[in-house]
Chains A and B, each alone.
Chain A
Amino acid sequence: MPLNAYLTLAAVLFTIGFFGVVTRRNTIGILLGIELMLNAVNINLVAFARFNADIVGMIFTAFTIPITVAEVALGLAIVILIFRMKRTAIADHLDILKG
Chain B
Amino acid sequence: MTDPALPALLALLLPACAFVILAVVAPLRRRGRPAAYLSVLFAAGALVAAIGAFRLTMGGGFSEWLWAWIPAEAGPLATVGVLADGDSALMLVLVALVSFLVQVYSLGYLSDESMPSLGRYYVYQSLFAFSMTGLVLAPNFVQLFIGWELVGLCSYLLIGYWYTRPEAARAAVKAFWITKAADVGMLVGIVLLWRHTGTFDFLELLQMADGGIIPLAGLGVITFCIYLGASGKSAQFPFHVWLPDAMEGPTPVSALIHAATMVTAGVYLLTRTVWLFRLTPDVMEIIAWNGAFTALLAAVLACVQTDIKRVLAYSTVSQLGYMMAAIGAGFASDGFLHLLTHGIFKALLFLGAGAVIHAVGTNDIFRMGGLARKMPQTAIVFLVGTLSLAGVPFFAGFFSKEEILGAVLAGGFPGPFAMLLLAAFLTAFYMFRVVFVTFFGAPAAAHGADDRHVHDAPPFMALPLWILALLSVGIGTLFAFWHPKAEFEALGWLTPTAIVVAFAGIALAYLVYQRRAISADALASAFAPIRAAALRRFWIDDVFLFIYRGLMLSLAKLVGWLDRYVVDGILNVLSAWTLTAGDRLRRLQSGRAQDYVYGIALGVLLLLVWVRWPR
Interface of A toward B, CB cutoff 8 Å: 18, 21-22, 30, 91-92, 94-99
Does residue B452 face the partner (Cβ distance < 8 Å to A)? no
Closest CB-CB distance, A19 to chain B, in whole Å?
10
By a CB distance below 8 angstroms, the chain B residues around A21 are 594, 597
- How many Å lie between the Cα of A19 and that of B592 in the bound state? 16
Specify which chain B residues have a CB less than 8 angstroms from the CB of A99 in the assembled complex: 586-589, 591
A94 to B590, CA, bound (A): 10
A60-B94 Cα distance, complex, nearest whole Å: 104
Q: Bound complex: CA of A98 vs CA of B596, how far in Å?
A: 11
Q: Which of A22, A30, A95 touches B591 (beta carbons < 8 Å)?
A: A95
Say yes or no: A22 contacts B594, CB within 8 Å: yes
Does any Cβ of A come within 8 Å of B598's Cβ?
yes
CB <8 Å contact, B591 and A98? yes
Q: A96-B591, A97-B591, A99-B591 are in contact. List 5 more A-B contacts (CB 8 A).
A: A21-B597, A30-B594, A95-B590, A97-B592, A99-B586
CB contact list, B563-592 vs A, under 8 A: 586-592
A91-B592 contact given A18-B601, A21-B597, CB 8 Å threshold: yes
Interchain nearest-CB distance for B604 vs A (Å): 11
* Contact of B592 with A22 in the complex, beta carbons under 8 Å: no
* 6 closest residue pairs by CB, A with B: A99-B589, A98-B591, A95-B591, A97-B591, A95-B592, A99-B586
- By a CB distance below 8 angstroms, the chain B residues around A98 are 589-592
Question: Quick one: closest A residue to B598, CB to CB?
Answer: A22
B611 within 8 Å of A (CB atoms): no
B593 at the interface (CB under 8 A from A): yes
How close is A47's CB to chain B, nearest CB, in angstroms? Answer: 20
How far, in angstroms, from A42 to B106 measured CA to CA in the complex? 103
Q: How far is the CB of A91 from chain B (nearest CB, A)?
A: 6
Could you list 27 examples of A-B contacts with CB < 8 Å? Answer: A18-B601, A21-B597, A22-B594, A22-B597, A22-B598, A22-B601, A30-B594, A91-B593, A91-B594, A94-B591, A94-B593, A95-B590, A95-B591, A95-B592, A96-B591, A97-B589, A97-B591, A97-B592, A97-B593, A98-B589, A98-B590, A98-B591, A98-B592, A99-B586, A99-B587, A99-B588, A99-B589
Distance of A83 from chain B, by nearest CB (Å): 15
Give the residues in chain A near B598, CB-CB below 8 Å.
22
Residue of B nearest to A93 (CB): B592
The docked-state distance in angstroms from the alpha carbon of A96 to that of B592 is 8
| Nearest-Cβ distance from residue B596 to partner chain A, whole angstroms | 8
- Across the interface, which residues of A come within 8 angstroms of B593, CB to CB? 91, 94, 97
Instruction: Output the nearest chain B residue to A18 by Cβ-Cβ distance.
Output: B601
Across-interface contacts of B594 in A (CB, < 8 A): 21-22, 30, 91
- Interface range for B: 10 to 19
Residue of B nearest to A25 (CB): B594
> Would B586 and A92 count as touching, CB distance under 8 A?
no
Nearest Cβ distance between residue A16 and chain B, in whole angstroms?
14
Chain A residues with CB under 8 Å of B590's CB are 95, 98
B592 near A94 with CB under 8 A, answer yes
A38: shortest Cβ distance to chain B, in Å? 15
Q: Distance (Å) between the CB of B334 and the closest chain A CB?
A: 85
Bound CA span A96–B597, Å = 16
| Nearest chain B CB to A71 CB, angstrom units | 16
| Bound complex: CA A8 to CA B587 (Å) | 37
Chain A residues with CB below 8 A from B586, complex form = 99
Among B589, B590, B594, B598, chain A packs the most CB atoms within 10 A around the CB of B594
B201 → chain A closest CB, angstroms: 69
C-alpha spacing A94/B595, complex, angstroms: 12
What's the Cα separation between A97 and B593 when bound, in Å? 8
Inter-chain CA distance A95–B596, complex, in Å, is: 11
- The minimal Cβ–Cβ distance linking B578 to chain A, given in whole angstroms, is 17
Q: Which of B520-541 contact A (CB under 8 A)?
A: none
- Give the residues in chain B near A97, CB-CB below 8 Å: 589, 591-593, 596
- Chain A residues contacting B597 (CB-CB under 8 Å) are 21-22
**B585 nearest CB neighbor, chain A only:** A99
Chain A residues positioned under 8 Å from B588 (CB to CB): 99
How far is A21 from B598 in the complex, measured between Cα atoms in Å?
10
Specify which of B586, B587, B593, B598 lies most central, judged by the most chain A CB atoms within 10 Å of its CB. Answer: B593
A30 to B601, CA, bound (A): 15
Q: Of all chain B residues, which has the CB nearest A95?
A: B591
| Closest chain B CB from A27 CB (angstroms) | 9
Contacts of A94 in B (CB 8 A): 591-593
**A33 nearest CB neighbor, chain B only:** B597
B592: chain A residues within 8 A (beta carbon): 91-92, 94-95, 97-98
Across the interface, name the chain B residue whose C-beta is closest to A23. Answer: B594
A96 partner residues in chain B, CB cutoff 8 A: 591
Smallest Cβ-Cβ distance to A34: which chain B residue:
B597
Query: Which A residue sits closest to B593, measured CB to CB?
Result: A91
User: Which residue from chain B places its CB closest to the CB of A91 in the assembled complex?
Assistant: B594
Minimum Cβ distance to chain A for residue B68 (Å): 63
Q: A98 to B594, alpha carbons, bound, how many Å?
A: 12
Q: How far is the CB of A76 from the nearest CB of chain B, in Å?
A: 16
Bound CA–CA A22/B605 (angstroms): 15
Distance of A97 Cα from B592 Cα, bound (Å): 7
Bound together, the chains give a CA A21 to CA B595 distance in angstroms of: 10
Within the assembled complex, what's the spacing in Å between the Cα atoms of A66 and B464? Answer: 109
- Complex CA gap A96/B591 in Å reads 6
Residues on A with beta carbons closer than 8 Å to the beta carbon of B601: 18, 22
Shortest distance between the CB of B195 and any CB in chain A (Å):
61
Measured CA separation A30–B597 after assembly (Å): 11
Give per-residue flags for B483-523: 1 if the beta carbon is below 8 A from chain A beta carbons, else 0: 00000000000000000000000000000000000000000
Residues of B within 8 A of A22 (CB): 594, 597-598, 601
CA separation between A94 and B591, bound complex, in Å?
Answer: 7
**Distance in Å from the Cβ of A77 to the closest Cβ of chain B?**
17
Task: Report how far A94 CA is from B601 CA in the complex, Å.
Answer: 20
A95 surroundings in chain B (CB, below 8 A): 590-592
B590 to chain A, nearest CB (A): 6
* CA gap between A30 and B594 in the complex, in Å: 9
